[in-house]
């Protein structure tokens, strides 16, 4: 089917028709932009000039089929189009791997800020990303620190394949090693040398996950979301070996649930880390923790 050239009035009328199926207008506009090639600005322009024409990147039938699957089966649009814009990247995503969230973008900024605040070098010699998923954090850090080596860890083989694809697409594969395993365990050869480690681990309590919107609960991997009964299982495991695995003075940066800040700080302190700090997301919620390994005598 050829990609059509349509006038504004017919695109807007098609859009109204689709919204009768359900779904959010912002989601449909996201689909029109990413898959249809009509940006939000172009859509506004069509409203002002409904007789003007626009070229769609794909036939309307394709957009309609995706929208129906999204509305009827609650499938995430990112999986259906196979991509997800995140920071300045356009990441590939597929079922079996968590769709990167906007709030996690802040973990990259916190990592870059931490390094520039405390070191004069251009980046850590060795950094790691625990639970890399799509590889979003690893790709962003590898691009920001071209002279550093990174290691990206995940237990899921599907996630590691996706991370490998995203690292390759951004041409940073040679700077990031990918290893399968449980948190710090695959990093054992480098214990004591890791200068900065980021992690966005699964942290949703099981009972909260059971109540999540089906678009998340029924389609995104539970391994990426559920942190056991209290949500803290992965955070506990990561905190417990951090002082040993990090380089002396090395940094650990974690994302967590909005109500876990005190619990995570307590875990980090009792694991022997120092300079434990809570950091807010853009909405002012305490969603991140930062801590430093002690200098060894």
Ligand X SMILES: C[S@@+](CC[C@H](N)C(=O)[O-])C[C@H]1O[C@@H](n2cnc3c(N)ncnc32)[C@H](O)[C@@H]1O
For binding to ligand X (CB under 6 A), which residues are involved?
A: 98, 100, 104, 131-134, 136-137, 153-156, 159, 182-183, 200-202, 223-224, 234
Q: Are 221 and 276 in contact (CB under 8 A)?
A: no
Cβ distance to ligand X smaller for residue 38 or 234: 234
Q: Which residues contact 253 (CB under 8 A, 6 or more apart)?
A: 107, 110, 111, 114, 196, 197, 198, 199, 288, 289, 290
Rounded to a whole number of angstroms, the minimum distance from the CB of residue 91 to ligand X is 9
Quote the tokens at residue 290: 């930062």
Cβ distance to ligand X smaller for residue 67 or 203: 203
Cβ distance to ligand X smaller for residue 8 or 227: 227
Rounded to a whole number of angstroms, the minimum distance from the CB of residue 182 to ligand X is 4
- Distance (Å, whole) CA 111 – CA 87: 14
DSSP label at residue 121? S
Residue reference for tokens 């697409």: 169
Q: Are 105 and 176 in contact (CB under 8 A)?
A: no
Q: Which residues contact 266 (CB under 8 A, 6 or more apart)?
A: none
Rounded to a whole number of angstroms, the minimum distance from the CB of residue 165 to ligand X is 14
Strand-pair category, 194-199 with 246-255: parallel
Cβ distance to ligand X smaller for residue 7 or 83: 83
Rounded to a whole number of angstroms, the minimum distance from the CB of residue 193 to ligand X is 19
DSSP label at residue 49? -
Quote the tokens at residue 179: 């290893």
Cβ distance to ligand X smaller for residue 75 or 154: 154
Best CA proximity match to 238, nearest among 218, 257, 264: 264
CA dist 150 → 142, 170, 190, 208 (Å): 7, 14, 11, 33
Residue reference for tokens 């417990």: 240
Rounded to a whole number of angstroms, the minimum distance from the CB of residue 150 to ligand X is 13
Rounded to a whole number of angstroms, the minimum distance from the CB of residue 151 to ligand X is 12
Cβ distance to ligand X smaller for residue 134 or 148: 134
Rounded to a whole number of angstroms, the minimum distance from the CB of residue 157 to ligand X is 10
Rounded to a whole number of angstroms, the minimum distance from the CB of residue 7 to ligand X is 40
Cβ distance to ligand X smaller for residue 14 or 190: 190
141 φ, ψ to 5°? Answer: -70, -40
Cβ distance to ligand X smaller for residue 187 or 273: 187
């Amino acid at each position: 089917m050829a990609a059509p050239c349509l006038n504004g009035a017919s695109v807007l009328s098609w859009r109204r028709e689709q919204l009768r199926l359900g779904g959010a207008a912002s989601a449909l506009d996201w689909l029109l932009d990413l898959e249809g090639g009509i940006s939000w600005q172009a859509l506004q322009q069509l409203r002002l000039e409904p007789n003007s024409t626009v070229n769609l990147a794909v036939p309307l039938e394709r957009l309609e089929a995706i929208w129906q699957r999204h509305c009827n089966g609650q499938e995430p649009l990112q999986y259906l189009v196979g991509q997800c814009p995140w920071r300045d990247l356009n990441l590939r995503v597929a079922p079996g791997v968590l769709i990167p969230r906007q709030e996690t973008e802040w973990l990259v900024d916190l990592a870059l800020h931490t390094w520039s605040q405390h070191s004069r070098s251009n980046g850590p010699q060795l950094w790691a990303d625990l639970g890399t998923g799509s590889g979003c954090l690893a790709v962003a850090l590898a691009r920001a620190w071209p002279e550093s080596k990174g290691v990206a860890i995940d237990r899921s083989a599907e996630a590691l394949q996706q991370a490998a694809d995203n690292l390759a697409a951004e041409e940073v594969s040679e700077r990031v090693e990918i290893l399968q395993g449980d948190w710090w365990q695959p990093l054992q050869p480098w214990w004591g040398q890791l200068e900065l480690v980021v992690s966005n681990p699964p942290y949703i309590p099981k009972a909260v996950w059971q109540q999540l919107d089906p678009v998340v609960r029924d389609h995104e991997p539970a391994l990426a979301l559920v942190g056991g009964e209290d949500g803290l299982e992965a955070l506990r495991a990561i905190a417990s070996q951090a002082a040993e695995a990090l380089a002396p003075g090395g940094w650990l940066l974690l994302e967590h649930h909005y109500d876990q800040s005190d619990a995570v700080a307590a875990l980090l302190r009792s694991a022997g880390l120092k300079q434990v700090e809570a950091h807010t997301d853009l909405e002012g919620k305490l969603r991140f923790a930062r801590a430093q390994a002690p200098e060894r005598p």
